[in-house]
């Protein structure tokens, strides 16, 4: 029986024989050791799109342990169910995942499919990328996982793996390296068994070629890794200097009455449809008793949230368009921004 020739030690796959051997190593590893996630048990493009958008900014462990994906699919099992839902219900189902535009884009995509495509999910890269919120990576993921098409994918895990295999001294977030990553992915993606290959190439980056010190001894593609042969895989990937973190302070009031809490609608398009604790100017917070401080990050800001109790029996801020909600039943609350839900939980009010 013929065997593929072994790769040159520590050299990336560039020749046709090395490329085939690399692909087979990824596929064989995944078929043997790949994780069994619920979205890997289906070919439904809608279910796969849901999983991909959920996982864009959220760790797999969070999505699984808190059953976000399972509960979403029970609540909105089809594009038709999602398209006809109220936005408030959609945001409530997404509550806790953050980056709520992902949920809005899912609903926009569902409505596009139902209203303009006769309920038929697009099955080409071009058609998938025409859906709201679907970029090159997500289109490739749906095309390969749902339809078995030879579509390349590049996510953070693939970038880290490729940067070590090729020992890239150029910052991976530079324009030339972004192009190079996609060119590599296109060249290395096989014509068959794409579902296993794309799942495997991401999962190797996630589980083995991790940040910090990678597990090179058990990596199925270490034979092609130039960074490992150089002895410095932990130095990759290289990134451009990050933006300075800007500290911010946020001051809010916590009005409670019996089992009720006073909440206000968020302003601005990014948080539209969410609710929050009412904000007050810093000067109005002087002298108020503080109930809680917590820190959260958003883009390049590090926000310290100060939660105050009002003085005496003072009413909520006038003109705030807020309402009282029953806090004893979490399901009856409107969709809350993550910092304010966390504040209520930390104060044992939910």
Tokens of 313: 């029996």
Q: Given this model, what pLDDT does residue 267 score? A: 80
Domain boundary among 187, 209, 235: 235
Query: Quick one: which of 47, 91, 14, 128 has its CA closest to 271?
Result: 91
263 and 327 share a domain?
Answer: yes
Residue 195 confidence (pLDDT): 97
Is 235 labeled as catalytic in the residue annotation?
no
User: Is residue 267 exposed (0-12), middle (13-18) or buried (19+ Cβ within 10 Å)?
Assistant: exposed
The per-residue pLDDT for 8 is: 54
Domain count, the chain: 2
User: Do 94 and 184 reside in the same domain of the chain?
Assistant: yes
* Predicted local confidence at residue 9, as pLDDT: 66
77 and 157 share one domain: yes
Q: Are strands 301-308 and 246-253 parallel, antiparallel or unpaired?
A: parallel
Report CA Rg, the chain. 24
pLDDT at 319: 63
User: How far apart (Å, rounded) are the C-alpha atoms in residues 276 and 151?
Assistant: 41
Domain with residue 133: its CATH number is 1.10.340.30
In this prediction, residue 1 carries a pLDDT of 37
CATH number for 303: 3.90.79.10
**CB contact at 8 A, 324 and 261:** yes
Same domain, 254 and 314: yes
What residue numbers bound the domain in which 278 lies?
A: 246-346
Instruction: Name the token pair of 217.
Output: 């001894």
Q: Identify whether residues 291 and 228 lie together within a single domain.
A: no
Please state whether beta strands 275-276 and 290-298 pair in parallel, antiparallel, or not at all (unpaired).
unpaired
The predicted structure's pLDDT at residue 330: 80
Q: Measuring CA to CA, which residue among 111, 59, 85, 95 is closest to residue 266?
A: 95
Marked catalytic residue, from 11, 52, 87, 250: 52
Last residue of a domain, one of 188, 207, 235: 235
Domain boundary among 188, 215, 235: 235
pLDDT in tens, the chain (350 residues): 344 544 556 899 999 999 999 999 999 999 999 999 999 999 999 999 999 999 998 899 999 999 999 999 999 999 999 999 999 999 999 998 888 999 999 999 999 999 999 999 999 999 999 999 999 999 999 999 999 999 999 999 999 999 999 999 999 999 999 999 999 999 999 999 999 999 999 999 999 999 988 999 999 999 999 999 999 999 999 998 767 889 999 999 999 988 999 999 988 767 788 999 999 999 988 889 999 999 988 878 899 999 999 987 788 876 668 899 998 888 889 999 889 999 999 998 88
Helices (H), the chain: 16-33, 45-55, 60-65, 68-75, 79-83, 87-94, 101-116, 125-129, 136-147, 156-165, 175-188, 194-207, 226-230, 282-285, 338-346
């Amino acid at each position: 029986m013929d065997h593929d020739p072994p790769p040159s030690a520590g050299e990336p796959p560039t020749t046709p024989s090395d490329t085939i051997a690399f692909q087979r190593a990824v596929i064989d590893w995944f078929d043997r050791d790949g994780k069994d996630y619920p979205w890997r048990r289906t070919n439904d493009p809608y279910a796969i799109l849901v999983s991909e958008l959920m996982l864009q900014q959220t760790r797999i462990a969070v999505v699984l342990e808190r059953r976000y994906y399972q509960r979403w699919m029970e609540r909105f099992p089809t594009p038709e169910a999602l398209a006809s839902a109220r936005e408030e219900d959609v945001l409530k189902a997404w509550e806790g995942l953050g980056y709520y535009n992902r949920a809005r884009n899912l609903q926009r995509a569902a409505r596009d499919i139902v209203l303009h495509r006769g309920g038929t999910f697009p099955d080409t890269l071009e058609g998938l990328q025409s859906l709201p919120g679907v970029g090159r990576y997500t289109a490739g993921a749906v095309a390969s996982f749902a339809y078995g098409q030879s579509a390349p994918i590049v996510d953070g895990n693939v970038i880290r793996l490729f940067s070590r295999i090729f020992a890239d001294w150029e910052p991976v977030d530079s324009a030339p390296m972004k192009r190079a990553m996609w060119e590599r992915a296109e060249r290395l993606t096989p014509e068959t068994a794409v579902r296993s290959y794309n799942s495997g190439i991401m999962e190797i980056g996630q589980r083995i070629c991790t940040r910090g010190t990678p597990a090179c001894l058990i990596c199925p593609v270490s034979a092609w890794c130039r960074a490992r042969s150089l002895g410095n895989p932990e130095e990759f990937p290289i990134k451009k200097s990050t933006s300075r973190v800007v500290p911010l302070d946020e001051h809010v009031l916590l009005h409670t009455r019996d089992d009720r809490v006073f909440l206000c609608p968020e302003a601005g398009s990014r948080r539209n449809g969410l609710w929050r604790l009412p904000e007050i100017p810093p000067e109005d917070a002087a002298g108020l008793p503080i109930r809680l401080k917590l820190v959260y990050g958003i883009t390049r800001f590090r926000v310290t949230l100060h939660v105050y109790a009002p003085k005496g029996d003072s009413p909520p801020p006038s003109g705030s368009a807020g309402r009282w909600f029953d806090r004893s039943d979490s399901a009856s609350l409107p969709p809350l921004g993550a910092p304010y839900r966390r504040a209520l939980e930390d104060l044992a009010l939910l």
